[in-house]
Amino acid sequence: MFKSSFNLLLLVNALILLVVTIVHNVHAQTCTSNYDIAPTLESTTCPIGFVNMMQLDSGNRTCAPYATFLNSVLGKSCTSDANCYLASLGCFNSICDYRKTRYQGDSCNSINNCADGLNCLGGYCLKFDNLKVGLGEMCGVYSATENTYSICADNRMCHSGMCVNCLMRSVNETCNTHDMQTHTHTLCGEGLTCLNGICNQVTTLKEGEVCDPMSVTSICPSGLVCRIVKAAMIDQYVCSKYAKWGEFCEGDALGCESSKIGSSGLATCYNGECSRVNFNTHEKMCSSDSHCYSGTCGSKNGMCFKLGLANTLTCNGNGLNCPGSFQCSCNGTSSSGNGNGVCFGTCTGFVQDVSICLWNNGYSNAAHMLPGNGKYQIVDLKSSAFLKCKTQYEAAYSCLKLTSKSAQVFLGEPSLPGLDISSMVMSRPPMVIMPGGAKFNSTSLEYEYPSGPTPVVSSSSISPAKSKASNNSNMVVLSQLVVVLVVLVLNLLV
Ligand SMILES: *[C@@H]1O[C@H](CO)[C@@H](O)[C@H](O)[C@H]1NC(C)=O
Ligand SMILES: *[C@@H]1O[C@H](CO)[C@@H](O)[C@H](O)[C@H]1NC(C)=O
Ligand SMILES: *[C@@H]1O[C@H](CO)[C@@H](O)[C@H](O)[C@H]1NC(C)=O
Ligand SMILES: *[C@@H]1O[C@H](CO)[C@@H](O)[C@H](O)[C@H]1NC(C)=O
């Protein structure tokens, strides 16, 4: 029956593997989770509104209400950041205090409270005074005691942290050369660009002209971008206005809305349309977790998961893990011998709303201000950034409360002082905020821009977004099919 003993060996091996797998699965009944309402380890996360706190007398841990925990550490002595536990706090001069959550004009106890580039002066976070320094001196240096930020005098530039004289070069002359002795640096003059160490003429194209996105010598005028404007015009790049939300984009979001928004990381090109990250509801298709408001794209059906989903996805934390941004709960214990746990959402879309709100208000390096579970809870009512986006923080915490409650990571109604997290529902807000200030009305499916008439989009160069989108979604479905087939074939081969 078997052509060779080698085949028999293979079969025996396969059977052993099967038996081992079955036995392993039968015994893999332990569920482990990072979440516990009665923590024993420092690494365990408590429900939202509670913080993993160590009792000083016994060394035992409990989930303490956020306010109780904060009172026990804020302004109190510490020996390391770990004593202050929350990521929004740090141990500064042996005292737990807020870390970089205060912005210009906000109150502060020390410079550590203030965001980067701000000093704490007379109890307020304020900009440093510019101090002009001379040739060969260090630039870009902050001095908290002098309250100065060193910049170079006029006609000089800061190169590798040192003020240098600039020598302007013309076409075909060398550029980007540096002389340490004389502190001089060569730059290309107006209308030129430095390419491989030689100044080249730059040609500025006009709107509607064919362009090459990779070219540095032939560029679109400022305010326009080199992009494909129609799905049908394969590889036909044209200098065009930036695409508005919902309009056609090719591959990445760099042609969406503006150069700042396109490169902010808050925009994405989904299904051939400019979109924000974490935008789609569960009725929509996705090909990446970042497309979904829930932060989780279903790998089986290519649809976004709902935000909560505590009862339909199982996990055990030992190989059977939750997809995307979902977390595993073993009925609210960190370890249970009773079988599988359930996955719950971490409200990625709401957290992204906070991020976008902060960005829209000019707080662009504010990743440390984002809300989350456990040690990532942040409430700072003395932070202008926090107060400007309070609505979004409240929505995020409300969502986190509801999703974790459905997974039994719950200890009663949480309290985050100063915030109202009682009245929210666990679904995408009816008006979704977009980077740059526009909003998406989930009922009318329209984008609403802040002020003035709807931005004029040249009708000759840009066809309606809807038809382009349908063309493109066919292409996406087709490419997903190809990927599935390839994966299948690879699996068969292995
Ligand atoms: C600390 O935990 C131990 C073990 O669980 C327990 O026996 C003890 O009573 C606890 N102590 C306090 C003060 O809660
Ligand atoms: C620059 O160099 C190129 C190629 O060597 C040459 O064709 C061109 O005439 C030069 N331009 C000037 C302004 O010297
Ligand atoms: C969670 O609780 C349910 C109901 O008591 C039980 O059937 C299940 O086994 C528990 N799961 C875990 C992981 O403990
Ligand atoms: C959203 O659109 C619906 C339907 O057109 C409209 O009734 C509603 O007022 C809009 N919501 C807002 C906040 O503009």
Q: What is the pLDDT of residues 410-443, one digit of tens each?
A: 999 888 999 999 876 788 999 999 999 999 999 9
Whether ligand 2 lies within 6 angstroms of the CB of 479 is answered as no
Query: Which of 118, 82, 115 minimizes the C-alpha distance to 98?
Result: 115
142 phi/psi in degrees, rounded to 5 = -90, 140
Would you give the DSSP letter of residue 113?
A: G
- Looking at 95-208, list the stretches that DSSP marks H as alpha helix, in order from N- to C-terminal side: none
How many Å apart are CA 101 and CA 112, to the nearest integer? 9
At 151 the three-state DSSP class reads: strand
- pLDDT for residue 452: 58
Whether ligand 3 lies within 6 angstroms of the CB of 336 is answered as yes
CA of residue 41 to ligand 1 center, whole Å: 14
Query: Residues lining ligand 1, judged by CB closer than 6 Å?
Result: 58, 60
Whether ligand 2 lies within 6 angstroms of the CB of 172 is answered as yes
Whether ligand 2 lies within 6 angstroms of the CB of 22 is answered as no
How many Å apart are CA 123 and CA 386, to the nearest integer? 18
Domain 130-204 adopts which CATH fold? Lipase, subunit A (2.10.80)
- Residue 360 CA: distances (Å) to CA of 103, 260, 374, 438, 439: 15, 11, 26, 10, 12
Query: Are the beta carbons of 20 and 26 closer than 8 angstroms?
Result: no
How many Å apart are CA 14 and CA 331, to the nearest integer? 36
Beta strands (DSSP E) in 410-461 are: 431-433, 439-441, 446-448
Pocket test for ligand 4, best of 428, 433, 443 (most atoms within 8 A of CB): 443
Whether ligand 4 lies within 6 angstroms of the CB of 443 is answered as yes
What is the number of other CB atoms lying within 10 angstroms of the CB of residue 469?
A: 19
Pocket test for ligand 3, best of 318, 331, 335, 408 (most atoms within 8 A of CB): 331
- pLDDT for residue 454: 44
Nearest Cα residue to atom 2 of ligand 3: 331
- pLDDT for residue 494: 37
Nearest Cα residue to atom 12 of ligand 4: 441
Dihedral, CA of residue 80, residue 84, residue 90 and residue 92, to nearest 10: -60
Per domain, the residue ranges of the chain are 50-127, 130-204
Would you give the DSSP letter of residue 214?
A: T
Query: Which of 289, 320, 323 minimizes the C-alpha distance to 309?
Result: 323
Whether ligand 2 lies within 6 angstroms of the CB of 174 is answered as no
Look at strands 129-133 and 124-127 and give their pairing: unpaired
Helix (H) or strand (E) holding 98: strand 95-98
Query: Are the beta carbons of 36 and 50 closer than 8 angstroms?
Result: no
259 phi/psi in degrees, rounded to 5 = -65, -35
Whether ligand 3 lies within 6 angstroms of the CB of 40 is answered as no
CA of residue 45 to ligand 1 center, whole Å: 20
- pLDDT for residue 312: 83
Nearest Cα residue to atom 10 of ligand 2: 172
- Residue 143 CA: distances (Å) to CA of 108, 118, 224: 17, 11, 40
CA of residue 331 to ligand 3 center, whole Å: 6
Nearest Cα residue to atom 11 of ligand 4: 441
How many Å apart are CA 384 and CA 366, to the nearest integer? 12
How many Å apart are CA 301 and CA 378, to the nearest integer? 35
Residues present in the chain in total: 494
Query: Which of 234, 238, 252, 224 minimizes the C-alpha distance to 461?
Result: 238
At 14 the three-state DSSP class reads: helix
How many Å apart are CA 458 and CA 468, to the nearest integer? 16
Nearest Cα residue to atom 7 of ligand 3: 338
DSSP letter string, 37-89: SS--STTPBPPTTEEEEE-TTT--EEEEEHHHHHHHHBTSB-SSHHHH-STTE
- Residue 282 CA: distances (Å) to CA of 78, 239, 260, 293, 431: 45, 36, 29, 8, 16
CA of residue 172 to ligand 2 center, whole Å: 6
At 210 the three-state DSSP class reads: strand
Please tell me the number of the ligand nearest to residue 36's CA: 3
At 465 the three-state DSSP class reads: helix
Place of tokens 């002082």: 417
What is the number of other CB atoms lying within 10 angstroms of the CB of residue 41?
A: 10
From first to last of the 494 residues of the chain, give the pLDDT tens digit: 444 454 544 444 555 444 444 444 445 579 999 999 999 999 999 999 999 999 888 889 999 999 999 999 999 999 999 999 999 999 999 999 999 999 999 999 999 999 999 999 999 999 999 999 999 999 999 999 999 999 998 889 999 999 999 999 999 999 999 998 999 999 999 999 999 999 999 999 999 999 999 999 999 999 999 999 876 667 789 999 999 999 999 889 999 999 999 999 999 999 999 999 999 999 899 999 999 999 999 988 899 999 888 778 899 988 899 999 999 999 999 999 888 999 999 999 999 999 999 999 999 889 999 999 999 999 999 999 999 999 999 999 999 999 999 999 999 988 899 999 987 678 899 999 999 999 999 999 999 998 754 443 333 322 223 333 333 333 333 344 443 344 334 444 43
- For the entire predicted model, the pTM comes to 0.83
Please tell me the number of the ligand nearest to residue 56's CA: 1
Place of tokens 């746990």: 341
Whether ligand 2 lies within 6 angstroms of the CB of 201 is answered as no
Q: Of ligand 4's atoms, which has the minimum distance to the CA of residue 442?
A: 1
Q: 185: which 2 tokens?
A: 């640096």
Nearest Cα residue to atom 14 of ligand 4: 441
CA of residue 33 to ligand 3 center, whole Å: 13
Q: 224: which 2 tokens?
A: 């326009």
- Residue 257 CA: distances (Å) to CA of 187, 263, 269, 387: 31, 10, 11, 27
90 phi/psi in degrees, rounded to 5 = -145, 165
Place of tokens 């829209």: 360
- pLDDT for residue 456: 36
Dihedral, CA of residue 362, residue 365, residue 367 and residue 370, to nearest 10: -20
How many Å apart are CA 310 and CA 343, to the nearest integer? 5
Query: Are the beta carbons of 368 and 99 closer than 8 angstroms?
Result: yes
Please tell me the number of the ligand nearest to residue 38's CA: 1
- Residue 349 CA: distances (Å) to CA of 430, 472, 486: 13, 25, 31
- pLDDT for residue 261: 96
Q: Of ligand 3's atoms, which has the minimum distance to the CA of residue 339?
A: 13
How many Å apart are CA 367 and CA 388, to the nearest integer? 16
Would you give the DSSP letter of residue 186?
A: E
Q: Of ligand 2's atoms, which has the minimum distance to the CA of residue 171?
A: 13
